[in-house]
Chain A
Amino acid sequence: MPSLKTLRNRINSVKSTQKITSAMKMVAAAKLRRAQAQAEAARPYTVRMGEMMAALAASEKGNPNASPLLVGNGRSQTHLIVAVTADRGLAGAFNANVIRAVRAEVKVLQAQGKAVKIFALGRKGNDALRRDMKDLIAGTKNFVGKKAVSFADAEDVARELIRGFRAGEYDVVKMVYNHFQNVMVQRVTGQPLIPAAIPTANDNVTEHNYEVEPDDGTLLDRLLPRNLAVQVYCALLENSAGFYASQMTAMDSATRNAGEMIKKLTLNYNRARQANITKELIEIISGAEAV
């Protein structure tokens, strides 16, 4: 039986842990709201961009000179996986899920005889993947110390991805990130970046009825890199919203667990205290009887 003093110390330490986790939960909730607002604000651009892409990409079907960013460069030997994770932890299995999905994907591709490279976007993913797949990591970037990701950040990433693709360092680019479904659910999602996933046009698929200035090809050359940046930006926004949601959930259950622990410890403490009192009483009484 631990002494009263050790029990008291343990209760106090669990209490202060609970204070920290509940504060972290509040902070995560506030940051989640901000991240969600940012993701919401970026949506109109994404939607319109998708519509334009759908219209233009449909017309490029079967065009042998179509942009390699759209249809690929005809090879699929080297794959690049962009792993989007958060920069910080304490968010349950949020980062681990992405990392596990990336590892599985790498295994599958390697079993098919493909070469795989990894671009680790986010510090946690980089740290974890560096442990066992050090030689595969082709690049990394994180946003440690930044309040919110900006579009310029996503553009830098997209530019780097396109540069590597044009230099022939890889043939296919795929992004793995946490899709923010709602506060409770974040689903790990794989999204092809190069060749671009063409959003399906809902009207006639073979030919769009837009006039295009200057012309389809030239416009697509400008649109595709932009579209790539938009997709990376969206993934980063969902990643940050998902991270805070996940952290909030994790901290909530940590706070609850701490509460349960305090309850149990307090019970033990009271039992021990009462046992002590009873013991002392017995001692006094038997002492008095002996006289």
Chain B
Amino acid sequence: MSIALEIISTEKLLLSRDVDMAVIPGTEGDIGVLPGHAKLITGLRGGLVDIYENGSISARYFVSSGFAEITESRCAVLADAIVPQEELDEATAKAALAEAKAAYDAVDIHDGYAYREAVDKLISAQAMVDSVTPHQV
């Protein structure tokens, strides 16, 4: 049994293939998606999408934020920015984090929308830094 995983950025379809399991970073926590998963729509926080094949991780992609639609046979990850984990670069990640921090410090806390956007960016940037050298599973 396998599940059709699609990783889609706004500009192109990055990956579409059958995998054994995918672990995706939902806003409420990581979600392991196996075939037959209940239908689910979730927001994504920044983090790694892990692709499991034959009992081990075969590929890891960093996604900044976005959405995922999961059905019994399919898992579609719609992400804003997608980078294969091995192509992540510590300097870029740190720069993004510094930028997100500055934006967060500058944001008007009473402007709900802007505030939430800044928080999302900060979480995503932090996740990017953490993903450069992720914990081995």
* Chain A residues engaging chain B, CB cutoff 8 angstroms: 38, 41-42, 44-45, 48-49, 51-52, 55-56, 150-151, 166, 209-214, 218-219, 222-223, 226, 229-230, 233
Is the CB–CB distance between B78 and A48 below 8 Å?
yes
Interface segment, one of B2-10, B49-57, B84-92, B128-136: B2-10
Quick check: A222 and B43 within 8 Å, CB to CB?
yes
Q: A210-B41, A211-B40, A229-B10 are in contact. List 19 more A-B contacts (CB 8 A).
A: A41-B11, A42-B12, A44-B6, A45-B9, A45-B10, A48-B8, A48-B76, A49-B78, A51-B69, A52-B67, A55-B41, A150-B11, A209-B39, A210-B39, A211-B41, A212-B40, A213-B27, A226-B66, A226-B67
Pair B41/A45 contact, Cβ less than 8 Å? no
- Among candidates B8, B11, B67, B113, residue contacting A223 with C-beta atoms closer than 8 Å: B67
Tell whether, in the assembled complex, residue B69 and residue A45 are in contact, meaning their CB atoms are under 8 Å apart.
Answer: no
Selected contact of A219 from candidates B11, B13, B43, CB within 8 Å: B43
The distance from the CB of B109 to the nearest CB of chain A, in whole angstroms, is 17
Q: Is the Cβ of B69 less than 8 Å from the Cβ of A213? A: no
Choose among B12, B28, B69 the residue that contacts A214 (Cβ–Cβ < 8 A). Answer: B28
Of all chain B residues, the one with the shortest Cβ separation from A219 is: B43
Q: How far is the CA of A42 from the CA of B9 in the complex (A)?
A: 8
B residues near A (Cβ < 8 Å) are 6, 8-13, 26-28, 38-43, 66-67, 69, 76, 78, 113
Quote the shortest CB–CB distance from B103 to chain A (angstroms). Answer: 14
- Closest Cβ of chain A to B7, distance in Å, is 10
Please report the C-alpha to C-alpha distance between residue A100 and residue B67 in the assembled complex, in whole angstroms: 38
A163 vs B123: C-alpha distance when bound (angstroms):
23
**When the two chains form their complex, are residues A45 and B78 in contact, meaning their CB atoms are under 8 A apart?**
yes
- Contact status B9-A212, CB under 8 Å: no
Contact of A213 among B12, B28, B78, B113 (CB under 8 A): B28
- Write 9 A-B pairs (CB below 8 A) sorted by A numbering: A42-B12, A45-B11, A151-B10, A210-B39, A210-B69, A214-B43, A219-B41, A219-B67, A222-B43
User: A233, B69: Cβ atoms under 8 Å?
Assistant: no
What are the residues of chain B within 8 A of A219 when measuring CB–CB? 41-43, 67
Contact of B41 among A42, A44, A56 (CB under 8 A): A56
Given contacts A41-B13, A49-B78, A52-B67, contact A212 B42 (CB under 8 A): yes
Assembled-state Cα–Cα distance A223/B38 (Å): 21
A214 touches B27 (CB 8 A): yes
CB distance from A226 to the nearest CB of B (A): 8
- The answer for the CA separation of A150 and B80 in the assembled complex, in Å, is 12
* CA–CA, A213 and B8, complex, Å: 20
Q: Chain B: which residue is nearest A150 at the CB level?
A: B11
A150 to B28, CA, bound (A): 30
Please give, as numbers and ranges, the residues of chain A lying within 8 Å of B113 by CB-CB distance.
Answer: 166
Q: Which residues of B contact A44 (CB under 8 A)?
A: 6, 8, 12-13
Q: Which residue of B lies closest to A148 (CB)?
A: B11
Nearest-Cβ distance from residue B105 to partner chain A, whole angstroms: 20
Which of B13, B26, B40, B41 has most chain A Cβ within 10 Å? Answer: B41
Q: Is the CB of B10 within 8 A of A213?
A: no
Q: Which residues of A contact B38 (CB under 8 A)?
A: 211
CA distance A81 to B42 in the complex (A): 32
B39: chain A residues within 8 A (beta carbon) = 209-211
Which residue in chain A gives the minimum CB-CB distance to B66?
A226
Residue on A nearest B31 in the bound complex, by CB: A213
Q: Which residues from A are CB-within-8-Å of B28?
A: 213-214
Name the B residues within 8 Å of A150 (CB-CB): 11
Q: Chain A residue with minimal CB distance to B120? A: A222
Quote the shortest CB–CB distance from A213 to chain B (angstroms). Answer: 4
Chain B residue contacts of A233, Cβ below 8 A: 10
Question: Nearest B residue to A152 by beta-carbon distance?
Answer: B10
When distances are taken between beta carbons in the complex, the residues of chain A under 8 Å from B40 are 210-213
Residues of B close to A56: CB separation below 8 A: 41
- Cβ–Cβ < 8 Å partners of B43 in chain A: 213-214, 218-219, 222
CB distance from A225 to the nearest CB of B (A): 8
